[in-house]
Structure 1
């Protein structure tokens, strides 16, 4: 989020300079119009207007070209699949990537965090080992990245994610002629995965949740209190003041994202400084520059994080998996980072104890925080493959 903030700041500064330049240009020409060089100034204004119009047209053309040419890199194998594809799910236009060294391998669907997060590039970089044994499908959920405009924000609900996710699974099963798929969900995606397997358990070999979310409002309160505690221990007065100013969650209105980011970003920074955690943090600029995203997608990548989260997250406050999802008919695995500060481990362990499932297991990643699939990517891929072998 810190890198994301810097990126947004740079974009805003460039826009500001452009606006200032335009205002100065128009004022200059207005003065010339009032002086002796009126004819020259009028001609200059016309040239300036045509120039700006031409610049706008070129900009639109560039955006269209980058959108049309967005792709996912090929895989150099004879029977491989590497596609970036638009799909219709319940009448909505959404996007997926499909990557695997063989089309005949089992299908593995990855559910990104958020709501509003896009991880097309991140999973390609971090989970490429899974492409050896699976057809890895990454779904751009409504309100994120390439699927940002799939649903009006006012209409976007958790139920739509479940409906469209299930529709996607059914289409994948039909295309690849398989009876079931494997499902991985990270952070918000870990809750969405639980919603999906509860509704249609017959579609899944197993579910794997990492950065497992359990009770959303309780999580926010725990995270806020932990951030305050750590900020006091580290004498981070700016964070303390900001947390006090924001007040305790839950938050509503237009500032949900920014207020939540105060403690979530702080906890992420603490994890990034933890020497026990390997490869801490997302590489946002690397992911934003990836081939999967056109220029408009890059903008929507940021809008999803800021706006979709703001709208959808408050709808999840009342969700507590321990109360509504205590019995599942699919093997369940929690792949948890030992040093996760964003998704309270106490809640995941409590849910695990109460959960009834055909089989269940917590697998600990000793050198991970909230994102074991990034922190310990090689071991994560090995664990996923082992789970798949156990649940064919």
Structure 2
């Protein structure tokens, strides 16, 4: 009797699991069809582009082909957001044709652009070539850059190096200098953890000169979470689970690759960070912009230090500059406050007319 009961319970569990998977697959299929539609008069195209000797994935989405083009640069370095970023980037698609790009060795570009050694020269050439492709493909004279976190450091350098290609730069979670950023966070964390032995133990696992391992990065992030400055302290204003399930740009094979890759796509970028290669992109003493300069920053952002971004902004010389501050927001403002963020992007688009 006991064996029969166990078999029956096991059978029920198997049926439940299969049913759950079937529901997810059907939901994914239906959601993908719905979200993959092209707006009337607009554009919705995904493709692999030949970039600097590799093939890298982009999606182009907009409600009006005549709108200006905006290239979104995800953070990291090495952290593609293509598994969910279509939800918040499409909120700008009525005023911009938005291009999302999985950078070298990231996301859907991982298997087609894997690189053992990442250098500034390689990434700057990637950025230049993706920009040139978009100018030609979309028939534009210039485009706008919007970079988050690492993408803001990357994008600012592209705008400084190739101003002839860009009409505006928008940095959010503006990253200025790797070393100064980590020192400011570490100093603040020393104060936060005063009298907190467990917090001190976490803090001991990382320091400004010890961030070359996943363990150190995890400890750093745990410190931010512990004291209320975590990237997603406010959650998100949309459902991340359904966003992933309904993703129009990911097939089942893509999801399998995403799960299989795990942290592997991040590994070359750990070395890029640890060997000071990324410090070559520091924005300190680089203040002369020939394009409009915008910042959208959270006033509780310690992931990329808000105060450093403000100090830098005060020194920037640009044809036009403006800082937008999102109150009580940390680093994940694109996800946690996507509606408010979108309203600011719309203001910027209006100013650029």
Fold conserved (TM > 0.5)? yes
Partner in structure 2 of residue 248 of structure 1:
207
Q: Deviations over 1:196-246 (max 9, x none)?
A: 01111011111000000011011112223323432336x3x33421322x3
Partner-residue secondary structure (3-state), 1:208: strand
- The root-mean-square deviation of aligned C-alpha atoms, in Å, is 2.9
Distance 2:301 2:68 in 1: 30
**Mapped pair 1:263 → 2:223:** no
For the pair shown, which has the larger CA radius of gyration, 1 or 2? 1
Distance 1:72-1:317 versus aligned 2 partners, 3 A rule? farther
Distance 1:91 1:84 in 2: 19
Contact kept in structure 2, 1:187 and 1:210, CA below 8 Å: yes
TM-superposed CA distance for 1:308, in Å, is 3.6
Distance 1:176 1:197 in 2: 19
Distance 2:230 2:147 in 1: 25
Contact kept in structure 2, 1:288 and 1:298, CA below 8 Å: no
TM-superposed CA distance for 1:78, in Å, is 2.1
Partner in structure 2 of residue 339 of structure 1:
300
TM-superposed CA distance for 1:283, in Å, is 7.3
Q: Give the 5 Å matches for 1:137-148.
A: 137-148=99-110
Instruction: Name whichever structure is richer in helix by fraction.
Output: 1
Distance 1:71-1:159 versus aligned 2 partners, 3 A rule? farther
Query: Normalised by the size of structure 2, how large is the TM-score?
Result: 0.80
Q: 222-231 vs 335-344, which deviates more?
A: 222-231
Distance 1:139 1:209 in 2: 16
Q: Deviations over 1:150-193 (max 9, x none)?
A: 44543311222221111111111111111111110000000000
Partner in structure 2 of residue 201 of structure 1:
163
Partner in structure 2 of residue 120 of structure 1:
82
**Mapped pair 1:136 → 2:93:** no
Distance 2:133 2:180 in 1: 36
Partner in structure 1 of residue 146 of structure 2:
184
Contact kept in structure 2, 1:257 and 1:306, CA below 8 Å: no
Partner-residue secondary structure (3-state), 2:85: helix
Query: Normalised by the size of structure 1, how large is the TM-score?
Result: 0.73
Contact kept in structure 1, 2:173 and 2:298, CA below 8 Å: yes
Distance 1:114-1:287 versus aligned 2 partners, 3 A rule? farther
Partner-residue secondary structure (3-state), 1:137: strand
Partner-residue secondary structure (3-state), 1:191: helix
Distance 1:180-1:367 versus aligned 2 partners, 3 A rule? same
Contact kept in structure 1, 2:160 and 2:290, CA below 8 Å: yes
Partner in structure 2 of residue 372 of structure 1:
333
Q: 357-366 vs 73-82, which deviates more?
A: 73-82
Q: Give the 5 Å matches for 1:34-183.
A: 73-75=35-37, 77-183=39-145
TM-superposed CA distance for 1:374, in Å, is 2.1
Distance 1:320-1:376 versus aligned 2 partners, 3 A rule? same
Q: 76-85 vs 359-368, which deviates more?
A: 76-85
Q: Give the 5 Å matches for 1:303-382.
A: 303=263, 306-314=266-274, 315-317=277-279, 319-323=281-285, 325-382=286-343
Distance 1:258 1:273 in 2: 17
Partner-residue secondary structure (3-state), 1:85: strand
Partner-residue secondary structure (3-state), 1:148: helix
Unpaired segments of 5 or more residues in structure 1?
A: 1-65
Partner-residue secondary structure (3-state), 1:334: strand
TM-superposed CA distance for 1:280, in Å, is 5.2
Partner in structure 2 of residue 298 of structure 1:
258
Unpaired segments of 5 or more residues in structure 2?
A: 1-27
Distance 1:232 1:313 in 2: 29
Distance 2:157 2:135 in 1: 19
